[in-house]
Amino acid sequence: MNSPVTIGGATLYLGDCIEILPTLAKVDAVITDPPYDAKMHAKHWVGAGNDGYGRPKEMGFAALSLETQQGVAQWAAGGCSRWFLAFCSMEMVDGWKARLEAAGLDWVRAGVWVKGNAPPQFSGDRPGTGAEAIAIAHPKGRKRWNGGGRPACWHWNTSLHDGAYQQSHPTQKPEGLMGALVADFTDAGETILDPFMGSATTGVAALKGGRQFIGIEADEAHFATACKRIEDAQRNARLFA
């Protein structure tokens, strides 16, 4: 494991989250976008060619393994004092529920990110995917969030049309969406962990919202992008202070 990089209110680790998580102190919340299952990776298609059909595109990273999913859930049961949020495909909700409950967390419910500009199913022979799920859990006991009684539904365009950072990551989430989750599930000054940091969209949203951030990323290229984005976010914060 390499030494962490500290940039203002963010601490970034390059390495495997399963190795790094046991070295961390307790955090207030986990908000993360881990890899999806093998089926989703196999069906990751982009664009439409002249024949109207999409083309397969490599994700560049492995699908989420059962061992990693269990390891993250088990760490969160003792290492997270408030909310645990993980993006996943609709088909993965039951799996996340089972792992989180087995680890000792309360399953709250599955939230939904509804994509306002979701692409169609290019083949036209079946419905397209218009939403992704968010597994939401919490330690046992009293719960509190900042969203009142409204549904766990977030309507947001995909990142290509909302805060995309040079399209630097194949599954990059919209910055506005991550900012909404940060605002809904955490308070100013709290620490948010993302064990699958990617290009650090969660980290940028956390810092802009006055939170502290810890990120872990295994890919060196994405880690370098994350460091640059966090540096830019800190620089801009100082300019507007």
In a domain, 58, yes or no: no
In a domain, 159, yes or no: yes
First CA to last CA across the chain, in angstroms?
35
Could you give the percent of the chain with pLDDT greater than 90?
69
Residue 121 is predicted with a pLDDT of 77
In a domain, 51, yes or no: no
**Residue 126 pLDDT > 70, yes or no?**
yes
In a domain, 48, yes or no: no
Out of 35-39, 79-83, 162-166, the most confident range is 79-83
Question: CA nearest 193: which of 60, 69, 20?
Answer: 20
Residue 38 is predicted with a pLDDT of 59
**Residue 234 pLDDT > 90, yes or no?**
no
Q: What is the pTM of this model?
A: 0.88
In a domain, 165, yes or no: yes
pLDDT tens, residue by residue, 146-184: 999 999 999 998 865 455 445 566 667 989 999 999 999
pLDDT tens, residue by residue, 99-109: 999 999 999 99
**Residue 219 pLDDT > 60, yes or no?**
yes
**Residue 54 pLDDT > 80, yes or no?**
no
In a domain, 126, yes or no: no
User: Which residue segment(s) compose the domain that 100 sits in?
Assistant: 5-37+65-121+132-240
Here the CATH number for the domain that contains residue 236 is: 3.40.50.150
Structural domains in the chain (count): 1
Could you give the percent of the chain with pLDDT greater than 70?
82
Residue 207 is predicted with a pLDDT of 95
In a domain, 59, yes or no: no
Residue 118 is predicted with a pLDDT of 80
Q: Looking at 94-98, 120-124, 141-145, which range is the least confident one?
A: 120-124
Residue 53 is predicted with a pLDDT of 45
In a domain, 60, yes or no: no
